[in-house]
Amino acid sequence: MQLSTLPRTESGKLKFPGISLKAIQHKFDTQATEALKKIPLLPQLMKVISKIFTEEALYVFFTGQALRVTPNQYPRLYNVYREAIQILDLQYEPEFFLQTNEIPNAFAMGIERKFVIVTSGITDILNEEELLFVIGHELGHNKFDHMLTKTVAYVLGQIGVGVISALLGGVGQLAAISLQLGLLHWSRMAEFSADRAGFLVVQDREACLKALSKLAGYSRKYSEEGINIDEVLLQAKQLDETNLLQSFYKYVSMIQMTHPFIPYRVRELDEWIKSQEVANIFSGNYSTEEEYNRRFMGYQYPPYQQAYYPPQYPAYPPYPPYPYPQQPYVQSPYTPYQQSSQQYPSYFQGPYQSSYQSQQVAGQPQHQYYPPQQTIQQPYYQPQQGVGQPQQGAYSSNVDQSSSDQAAKE
């Protein structure tokens, strides 16, 4: 899609009509999604969880433990939420909840009935621009079709490995652990893609990088000193330069996490912000949902089914309605059998013979062709006398019958 001028919100931020976030999916997310497809027990687990787990339980929990944000309940916060939906051109509005919790957090859940939750802890440490980035991040999970897998990963994290093994019919604990670790790895990689959606909403490098940094370390007492983004990027570089023992502890620390280290997220997002891809998007040159589906998918199937269900092939033409139209019966004209005048080759001249008898000797005349009704046939199997003896003449050959007819004529 190429536009000379993009529409804007009331606050002056650019809107991206019809944008396909899958076209800007982070490569880590893409690789993790492909790896997730190869987990053999994952489809069975999804099927089992879909039967025993209902998202209504989570909905009831947050309806009872949090407040729904509406135009009449925290309208200022709701306006921030609505602006993020308009910028990403999300075709539906997930329900929005505010929960009292000192831990700064925000998450999106739901399969059919989607909702977004932010805690009071995160609204207290972020200004509205930074909060807009966090909300755009959570809405990006919706736009990237992460919701089903994110919800299942959350449920599995709550029930534990032992329950996973029992749900899958008593599979080994090692298989259950591998399944859980695969989902956690995907969850970490999906965050890199959602961070890109958050930046498209806030459209400010400093606001989004500071919002991420505050999730790692923030003090209201020293907030006037601000956060130095360059120092955070330096921490990401130091994480890459660890020795062997430090690398082992880094792996052990991160393997059970649902989100990657904050310095890594800051670095990956900062590199993408400076890329030409972002410049193209802000100039109106980006792929729409329709263009992306036509180019790469051929057919856009529902969320999560893209990762774990076989592709949906184009439908065949519909069958004719019942009853089927009756075709007129046309009787073929009867044609009596006529002997062909075709000259058969020499190896068809004569009755059935064995391969040895059919060899022609030079100088001897060829056999004459007999019509099919006069072809001499080999005698049938003659059973032993006295053992299951059939009726007389039941197994007699055509040769014997023709000899009897000849004797009767004489």
pLDDT in tens, 115-138: 899 999 999 999 999 999 999 999
Percent of the chain clearing pLDDT 90 (strictly above): 32
- Give the residue among 177, 183, 93 at the shortest CA–CA distance from 146: 183
- Strand arrangement of the beta sheet that strand 115-119 belongs to: 67-68, 95-99, 115-119, 106-109
Percent of the chain clearing pLDDT 70 (strictly above): 62
What is the spatial distance between Cα 225 and Cα 236, in angstroms, rounded to a whole number? 21
Kindly report, residue by residue over 223-265, the tens digit of the pLDDT. 777 889 999 999 999 988 888 888 888 888 888 888 999 999 9
Q: How confident is the model at residue 356 (pLDDT cuts 50, 70, 90)?
A: very low
Record the tokens describing residue 379, joined without a space: 């005698």
Asked if residue 323 has a cis previous peptide bond (ω within 30° of 0), the answer is yes
Q: How confident is the model at residue 160 (pLDDT cuts 50, 70, 90)?
A: low
Find the farthest-apart pair of alpha carbons in the chain and give their distance in angstroms, rounded. Answer: 134
Mean pLDDT of 294-321: 49
Secondary structure class of 173 (helix, strand, coil)? helix
CB atoms within 10 A of CB 219: 9
What is the spatial distance between Cα 251 and Cα 258, in angstroms, rounded to a whole number? 13
Q: How confident is the model at residue 296 (pLDDT cuts 50, 70, 90)?
A: low
CB 30 within 8 A of CB 317: no
CB atoms within 10 A of CB 333: 4
| pLDDT value of residue 288 | 86
Kindly report, residue by residue over 175-231, the tens digit of the pLDDT. 667 777 888 888 899 999 999 999 999 999 999 999 999 999 988 888 777 889 999
- Return the axis-axis angle of helices 229-240 and 262-273, rounded to nearest 10°: 110
Taking 60 as the threshold, does the pLDDT of residue 47 lie above it? yes
Taking 90 as the threshold, does the pLDDT of residue 344 lie above it? no
- Give the residue among 136, 316, 295, 130 at the shortest CA–CA distance from 227: 130
Record the tokens describing residue 399, joined without a space: 């040769």
Kindly report, residue by residue over 51-68, the tens digit of the pLDDT. 566 667 777 888 899 999
Kindly report, residue by residue over 371-402, the tens digit of the pLDDT. 555 445 555 555 555 554 445 444 444 445 55
Calculated CA dihedral for residues 193, 198, 201, 206, nearest 10 degrees? -120
CA distances, 395 to each of 298, 351, 354, 373 (Å): 67, 21, 22, 19
What is the spatial distance between Cα 85 and Cα 198, in angstroms, rounded to a whole number? 11
115, β-bridge pairs: 95, 109
Which residues are annotated as catalytic? Answer: 138
- Give the residue among 366, 39, 80, 45 at the shortest CA–CA distance from 211: 80
Task: Using the structure block, give the residue that is written with the tokens 């999804």.
Answer: 46
Element (H, E) at 334: none
Q: How many CA atoms lie within 13 A of 214 on its CB side?
A: 26
- Pairing relation of β-strands 115-119 and 95-99? parallel
| pLDDT value of residue 209 | 94
